[in-house]
Structure 1
Amino acid sequence: MERKRILITGAAGFLGSHLCDRFIKEDFHVIGMDNLITGDLRNIEHLFKLENFEFYNHDVSKFVHVSGDLHYILHFASPASPIDYLKIPIQTLKVGSLGTHNLLGLAKAKGARMLIASTSEVYGDPSVNPQPEEYWGNVNPVGPRGVYDEAKRFQEAITMAYHTFHGVETRIVRIFNTYGPRMRLNDGRVLPAFIGQALRGEPLTVFGDGSQTRAFCYVDDLVEGIYRLLFSDYVQPMNIGNPDEITIREFGEEIIKLTGTDQELVCHPLPTDDPKQRRPDITKAKAILGWEPKVSRQEGLKITYEYFKSLPDKEIQHKDFTYYNK
């Protein structure tokens, strides 16, 4: 039987590369696409030798062509960390708008089912906790984070429009804080920032008083949730994340304990529009997909720490980043 063909954009990124691995494992023909603006070919170089994997260096904000049959599209091309989308705001807006439009057009032409990667950032700085899918959010469209938040909100809107108006089969996943191997050590997110600082023997930077919360999901759990959502019949947005909530200060203390270091936590002013709390309501994922996270934070952090420790010293010592509580 001929393999089903799936296009994964952002294939060389953290999440995209793990999704490539999963669909290769499930015996799909995987077409990876990435312009490498934030992705890294090292994440997928182990796949290049396989007959059922091909890669295209392409910016999906420009016209996207894939020859032959195409059954599924996973749109994961987007800067996802604050250091990236604050550095390249226009590209972030374009990949969420023009890129999504191009790929929805491709899905329509090919009769493919398309899943888009949205984010918990659509909830902004929430006034409810945990955040259910019905919550419309509290987002500043013209603040520094607006380029990412509004790109994702538009992405959801145009995806739903293609579903209702053109009948395209679509799925929308709202991803909460995710971590694991292949994260960039200095990408501006709290977990790699903390571990990087610990490895360098530096104080851990906490923004605000550290009382703001996050909920961290291990990448394997997230990939399983995405896989189940793609093959479900559910077309509304769905939260996928780990509801095990922790304050940033407590999380910093966990990292210090994990790394066996004795650094102190140093507080800095809170960035503009930084969410005070973040925790997914996964009632729908449990009921509809039969999904919930399996990997404990303790277990996942140990694997992730070992990955970061194995990186070349020049990457560990590189400190050109601004850390945000994401």
Structure 2
Amino acid sequence: MKRVLVTGGAGFIGSHLCERLMARGDEVLCVDNFFTSRRQNIVHLRDNPLFEFMRHDITWPLYVEVDQIYNLACPASPVHYQFDPVQTTKTCVHGAINMLGLAKRLKVRILQSSTSEVYGDPAQHPQTESYWGNVNPIGPRACYDEAKRCAETLFFDYYRQHNMQIRVVRIFNTYGPRMHPNDGRVVSNFIVQALKGEPITLYGTGNQSRSFCYVDDLVTGMIAMMDQDELVGPVNLGNPGEFTILELATLVKELTGSSSEIVYQPLPQDDPVRRRPDISLAKAKLHWEPTIPLRDGLARTVAFFRELLAAG
């Protein structure tokens, strides 16, 4: 049994990670400040003796005793991270410094949840871990893109300077139950609009592409990365299946039985046109690849949102 700290543990991905760690017998200390996360995500865990919650903002130091650290804390959707861009940068950078300092004091392994956004609007397709990216450092998305890049820099500098046990994963578009209904991400947007019978909003032509990884697959990859002793990272974690946004909207309409019309809006500044991970490294070193097809994962996600909306 390990005592594991999960920052951002009440978030969409964090809550699934907490659940999985507890299912295998680990004690979990879930730390969150509820800036974008929801109490409902962890309410079913509260009475489990393996679960402990602490409300805390990781831009401030944290003094606890744990055996492993997963650092997931940060708003991850454009709507949320652009709401307070300075705080977003602080969460990524100050948060990384504080969590790395904690891991250094405790001499424990720490995993950083980085993002495919470090690749920006990529000139390489699909994206490999060796690609340095194409990021606008002063655009509206930079508070997230560049802050996550800086966090990676900090992790590798601590690794080289202090010989720390770091792990870095780059998470590509992930979806599933417990997504925030108002986070502005394409999957939750489309499903909520379809279930409400509202127009489904496509930005750009709809021909831009994304790769969608179901949250259960992602959590399996994160734990596999943390538990192995060979690979430091960064490692891409995502589903290499590539779909256009229009294909996603059409599939959501089918699964919801919605008659919503599809409307088009201008593409936001610096929004990537194509995004697909090369997961050769994860397959070779972690023996990991996604197993849940988009249709199956979306059906589960639609069921979650249908119940959420019905409850008001």
> Shorter-chain TM-score: which interval?
over 0.9
- Pairing 1:115–2:115 present: no
Confirm whether residue 149 of structure 1 aligns to residue 116 of structure 2.
Answer: no
Counterpart of 2:117 in 1: which secondary structure? helix
Q: Which residue of 2 aligns with 1:299?
A: 296
1:284 aligned residue:
281
Matched, 1:45 2:49: no
Which of residues 129, 135, 140 is equivalent to 1:139?
135
In 2, Cα distance between equivalents of 1:48 and 1:186: 25
Is residue 2:97 matched to residue 1:101? yes
1:322 maps to which residue? none
Q: Is the Cα contact below 8 Å between 2:37 and 2:180 reproduced in 1?
A: no
Mapped to 1, the partners of 2:194 and 2:140 lie a distance apart of: 28
Distance 1:194 1:179 in 2: 12
Question: Which secondary structure does the structure 2 equivalent of 1:106 belong to?
Answer: helix
Counterparts of 1:147-186 in structure 2 under 5 Å?
147-186=143-182
Q: 1:30 aligns with which of 28, 31, 40?
A: 28
Distance across 1 between alignment mates of 2:212 and 2:177: 14
Instruction: Give the partner amino acid of 2:276.
Output: R
Q: Is 2:199–2:260's contact at 8 Å kept on the other side of the alignment?
A: yes
Are 2:233 and 1:236 aligned? Answer: yes
1:207 and 2:208 matched: no
Cα shift at 1:143? 0.2
Superposed CA deviations along residues 106-149 of structure 1, whole A, max 9, x for unmatched, are 00000110000000000000011110000000000110000000
Superposed displacement of residue 264, structure 1:
2.1
Q: Please, which of 243, 246, 251 is the counterpart of residue 249 of structure 1?
A: 246
Other-structure match for 1:125: 121
- Residue 149 of structure 1 aligns with an amino acid whose one-letter code is D
SS of 1:185's equivalent in the other structure is coil
Identity across aligned pairs (percent)?
Answer: 50
Amino acid at match of 2:35: I
Q: 1:91 aligns with which of 87, 92, 96?
A: 87
TM-aligned CA distance change 1:314 to 1:87, over 3 Å: farther
- For residue 53 of structure 1, report the CA deviation from its aligned partner: 1.2
Aligned residues: 311
Secondary structure of the corresponding residue to residue 308 of structure 2: coil
Aligned equivalents of 2:248, 2:125: Cα separation in 1: 19
Counterpart AA for 1:96: C
Q: Which runs of 4+ in 1 moved over 3 A?
A: 312-315
Does the 8 Å CA contact 2:7/2:30 hold for their aligned counterparts?
Answer: yes
Q: Which amino acid aligns with 2:105?
A: A
2:184 match: 188
Q: Contact conserved, 2:112 with 2:168, CA < 8 A, in 1?
A: yes
Partners of 1:84 and 1:261 in 2: how far apart? Answer: 27
* 2:2 alignment counterpart: 4
Q: CA RMSD in A?
A: 1.0
Deviates further, 273-282 or 87-96: 87-96
Q: In structure 2, what is the Cα distance between the partners aligned to 1:245 and 1:56?
A: 38
Separation in 1 of the partners of 2:158 and 2:55? 26
Aligned to 1:220: 216
Q: What's the offset of the Cα at 1:202?
A: 1.4
Deviation at 1:29, TM superposition (A): 1.0
**AA of the residue aligned to 1:33:** V
Tell me the distance in 1 between the aligned counterparts of 2:283 and 2:61: 37
Kindly state the Cα deviation for residue 51 of structure 1 after the two structures are TM-superposed: 1.6
Structure 2: stretches of 5+ with no match in the other structure = none
Aligned to 2:296, the other structure's residue is in SS state: helix
Deviations 1:47-80 (A, max 9, x none): 11122211100000001110x4x21000000000
Work out the CA distance in 1 between the residues paired with 2:2 and 2:27. 6
